[in-house]
Structure 1
Amino acid sequence: MKREEVRERLENQAEQSYKEFNDKIVPGVKNAIGVRLPALRKLAKEMAKEDYKEYFDELEHTEKASLYHEELLLQGILIGIIKVTPSERMEYIKKFVFKIDNWAVCDTFCSGLKFTKDNGPLMWEFIQPYLTDEREFFVRFGVVMLMCYYIDEEHIERDIEILEGIQQEGYYTKMAVAWALSLCYVKFPEITRSFFEKSNNKLDDFAYNKAIQKIKESYRVTKEEKAYLHSLKRK
């Protein structure tokens, strides 16, 4: 399917009201046209059965500024569902991460990389350089991948160590770190509580307090736990 045809399909499914909603929740995105995710996923499934490589090639030779927000989302979704080997998919991932410039594209992309569940050790090593990068959305990509696929008994202690050590100062990096730590607490409260109690905790104040705030918003945490965590917030 050629890009021209894809754009026409997207334009026909665009909703002005949804565009206005999207513009509010994804600040800085000026090229959204208002296509909902279910419609994008449906189109991606259709395209995955065809010659998607032609579409990818066209995108590679197109200025990013001229792409619809939904075209980026669509490409990210496609990368997660096409039938390729893990190594081939990782090559697509490497190229796509350079295009990520907002939380919506990042998080939708990561949540669709479900092949990670069957390639855990391989992808764990793959995401490590992103977690120590200096670029905001490179690091957010690594953190969201960690959060989606590696908050488990095998990785929890290493997860917290990695999250504490992230130095990238971007707002969307810090929000991802806070979000990940809140999920660590929900799944492994005792281990994560010890992290918040550490007197030499290296996490910056914003991410530390935001993580506690997100934990307090969880319905899976008791009132007593929330009150205790609130007492640990930094002034």
Structure 2
Amino acid sequence: MIEDILTPYISVRFASEEKYRLGHIRVINPLPGQKVLGLHIPDMKKIAAGLAASGECLSIIRGFENVRIECRDFNEPSLCIEEKIIWGLMLDRLKVPLETRLEMFGRFVPAIDNWAVCDTVCCDAKWAVAKKNATGRTGLSGQERERLWKWLGRYYCSDREFEVRFAIIMSMCYFLEGEWLSCIFDAIESLDFDSIKSDYPDTAVKGQSPYYLRMGAAWLLATALAKYPEETRRFINGSKLPENVIRLYVRKARESFRTRNTPPL
């Protein structure tokens, strides 16, 4: 939809070096048939900031929403990876009330079908920072945080892989602190991993489906281990999480410099 805006930012190496291009696509692992243009994240943030501040911002967002709905009806891949990332980054940058932002995100989240889209947008959602932790930003009040957590609950209850991952990564980035820890652990414990659907064919991922959901949960738990080791170990050892999620968690913990010397269990 906005490929003409994005094309000048395509990485030279992506365009000219097949080995680099294939490696980039392999890491992104798009759904079959989904296009990857090859932009770097700093450039996408720059583009999103410019579009969010422009007079065409809302019409571009509506265009993204319409493309997603039309392509969903025909069961086709919709926007390219970079367009989806920029859509989410634009929502992160809008200066709007929380309810308006959540309403707009409610139309974006169903379009997430890739870990890179999910994680880039979640990790850049600085609007979700608590007021007490905000530096040079307004931040969310306690009541607004309660509202955001309740809203994320709908995605913890979803049966779609990346909707649940969205809730997990948002929780990891903005709620992983003492007063919310038990809420997060309860939400992870409540997940029925085997009933959650993945858009990926079984041959497209190495781990057990839904792989990106399991890995998202493992990442959150490994991050929790770094901040709250005793509480996290207590939760893991008393939980009924699937063994493959626990194995991924242990692997993530051992790979991280923050927890490589911290017992995960």
The alignment's TM-score, normalised by the length of structure 1, stands at 0.87
CA distance in 1, matches of 2:213, 2:96: 30
CA contact (8 A) 2:92 2:126 kept: yes
Match of 2:5 among 9, 14, 17: 9
111-120 or 170-179: bigger deviation? 111-120
The amino acid that maps onto 1:100 is I
CA distance in 2, matches of 1:134, 1:66: 20
CA contact (8 A) 1:110 1:145 kept: yes
Match of 2:188 in 1: 163
- Give deviations 1:28-77, integer Å, cap 9, x for gaps: 34300101111111111111111201112222332543522111111110
Match of 1:106 in 2: 118
Aligned residues: 221
Identity of aligned residues (%): 29
The answer to whether residue 86 in structure 2 is matched with residue 74 in structure 1 is yes
CA distance in 2, matches of 1:161, 1:61: 35
Match of 1:56 in 2: 61
CA distance in 1, matches of 2:78, 2:212: 24
SS of 1:124's equivalent in the other structure is helix
The answer to whether residue 32 in structure 2 is matched with residue 32 in structure 1 is no
CA contact (8 A) 2:65 2:108 kept: no
The CA RMSD measured in Å over matched residues stands at: 1.8
Q: Report the CA distance between 1:160 and its aligned residue.
A: 1.6
The alignment's TM-score, normalised by the length of structure 2, stands at 0.78
The amino acid that maps onto 2:79 is L
Q: 1:97 to 1:19 in 2, by over 3 A?
A: farther
The answer to whether residue 179 in structure 2 is matched with residue 154 in structure 1 is yes
CA contact (8 A) 2:176 2:224 kept: yes
- Unaligned segments of structure 2, at least 5 residues: 72-76, 130-139, 195-209
CA distance in 2, matches of 1:100, 1:181: 22
Match of 1:204 among 235, 239, 242: 242
SS of 2:178's equivalent in the other structure is coil
- Unaligned segments of structure 1, at least 5 residues: none
The answer to whether residue 120 in structure 2 is matched with residue 120 in structure 1 is no
